[in-house]
Amino acid sequence: MNDVRMIEVKEDILADNTRIAEGVRLRLRDTKTLLLNLMSSPGSGKTSLILRTIEGLQGAVKLGVIEADIDSKVDAEKVAAAGIPAVQLRTGGFCHLDATMVTQGIDALPAQRLDLIIIENVGNLVCPAEFDTGAHKNVMILSVPEGDDKPLKYPLMFTVCDVLLINKIDYMAQSDFDVAAARERALALKPGIKIFEVSCKTGAGLSEWINWLKKETEDFLAGFMEKNPPCLRK
């Protein structure tokens, strides 16, 4: 009897995805476009944050958005109504985006004319953390109603992110959410992670987040210019 061959499917898929993701980063480096991957649980405020960010960056940064959902295009319609190029990726049951899906989203946007593309990943604290989208920065939202214990339950998500936004701080008076504990747990998983406390409802703390994002976008372009001075660019 022939031996049955065992194939580590997940490892192979992730390895292939990593290769494609690196290609995405190189492609957007050439167009001088920063790609940001926004992740969180459903209902934590991803779309609200994007809409607030659009307001804050208006006139300063040319922005596009890739929306992802298992079904519907309601979020992309909200972004488009704000005058921003948007594309909806319907994942058809997949609980995350991978680099191939993101590539399709980028193809549908005028990427060469954009300074920043924000991906709104599928609402989930597990699968999106495992798949490299090709983003230059990973950001996650933890909303106050979810509780401060999420870094203990979903450590990988906090480990892969560069920024943590603690959203819905306007609920703090009705909650036992411990900000100090959430900060300590997040920093233990990712030393140096940037943490912003915000409310998309009241606008509290959003200026700090928007200023950070604006600077990251400017620094990304400056880094490109430094590596590619005018005499070397086509």
Q: pLDDT (tens digit, 9 = 90+) per residue, 194-212?
A: 999 999 999 999 999 999 9
Whole-angstrom Cα distance, residue 168 to residue 138? Answer: 20
The share of the chain scoring above pLDDT 90, in percent, equals: 81
What sign does the CA torsion over 112, 218, 97, 144 have?
Answer: negative
Q: How far apart are CA 106 and CA 65, in angstroms?
A: 9
CATH 3.40.50.300 fits 13-214, yes or no: yes
Residue 12 in this model has a pLDDT that exceeds 90? no
The arithmetic mean of pLDDT across residues 52-75, rounded, is: 91
| Mean pLDDT within 159-187 | 98
Check residue 95 and give its pLDDT. Answer: 85
- Rounded to whole angstroms, the Cα distance separating 21 from 194 reads 23
pLDDT category, 91, cuts 50, 70, 90? confident
**Through-space distance between the first and last CA atoms of the chain, rounded to whole angstroms:** 61
Q: Which residues pair with 143 in a beta bridge?
A: 167
Mean pLDDT of 126-141: 96
Task: Give the predicted TM-score (pTM) of the model.
Answer: 0.90
In degrees rounded to 5, what are phi and psi of residue 203? 90, 0
State the pLDDT at residue 227. 58
pLDDT at 233 (0 to 100): 41
Q: Nearest 5°: phi and psi at 140?
A: -130, 155
The residue type found at 229 is P
Mention every residue, 6+ apart, whose C-beta is less than 8 A from residue 128.
37, 39, 95, 96, 97, 121, 122, 157
Average pLDDT, the chain: 91
